[in-house]
Amino acid sequence: MNRAEAFFRNVTARGELGHAYLVEAESDEAALQTARLAAQLAQCETGTACGTCRSCRAFLSGNHPDIITLTRVKDQYGVGEVRDQLVEDIQIRPYSFSRKVYILPEAQRMGVPAQNAILKTLEEPPEYGLILLATSNRNALLPTVLSRLVMLNADEEAGEEEEAAEAYKAGQERFLEILGRAEYAGTSEWAALADNLKKDGLPAEEALNIFEKSLRDLYLAKGGANKDFFFPQLAEKTKGRAAYLPDEAIAELWEALAAAKARVKSNGNPSVVLELLGLTTRRILTEYKEN
């Protein structure tokens, strides 16, 4: 994993993705590949470039309505091309997703007029806009352009700490993903999840803290809240559960969590503990949903 990829994965997981980046590598293809991953991460419904959500499927098929890759007719981008495909198009709100992402391959092929044409857009993009310039030669870009971009290197390998942080974030996202469909996840899925979390370096205690926060979100939804959730990506699912779960069901979930914490504290097998918690959660959610 290169440093640019590790950066994009981490800021996406934290909800801190900015609006304008330059991805540089020795080859244009390597820079473009990382920029494309960043675009997929930004639009992915799980924030992990899962490859299976609606956004990822559209992106991988080449038909994503809100990820636009700029093209050029000649060796250099013309002013009209960057204006039509980026400067003016970004003023139109996203069609289907929360963001509108623009990828500009071989950004060094923008002449001075084209670079000047995008300056204001780079400085003040709409809140839903994300602009990704990929290049093999940042020196071909004006200092005024570079000053408006976060510059990332796609050649340098990420260090061990960066990779560990990325694995940890991936573990969190994996746990949230299965919580989102806990009514349907089978025994083998919970068992596999527990094993994968161990590989990710996500301690069982942290997984249980995530579960606890999801229950607090459930209480917020029960009280009619529409924001300030710990996990906004699960907001619709949480509100749906709050609509049919009575207080006694939520109390059962808290009891299951308390039992899981006690087992972990007494050195119980973390994989078994998480598997039991998952199966108990599925039983409770299914039982009350059917009633």
Summarised one tens digit per residue, pLDDT across range 128-145 is 999 999 999 999 999 999
Tell me, yes or no, whether 119 and 254 share the same domain: no
Summarised one tens digit per residue, pLDDT across range 59-112 is 999 999 999 999 999 999 999 999 999 999 999 999 999 899 999 999 999 999
Tell me, yes or no, whether 40 and 95 share the same domain: yes
Strands, sheet with 150-153, edge to edge from the N-terminal-most edge strand: 67-69, 100-104, 129-135, 20-24, 150-153
Parts of the chain with a pLDDT under 50? none
Dist. CA 101–CA 170, nearest whole Å: 23
Tokens 């971009």 sit on residue: 149
Specify the CATH number for the domain of residue 121: 3.40.50.300
Tell me, yes or no, whether 199 and 111 share the same domain: no
Entry pTM:
0.59
Tell me, yes or no, whether 194 and 255 share the same domain: yes
Specify the CATH number for the domain of residue 242: 1.20.272
Q: How many domains does the chain have?
A: 2
Exposure of 41 in the CB half-sphere (CA atoms within 13 A): 26
- Could you list the residue range(s) of the whole structural domain that residue 210 is in? 161-290
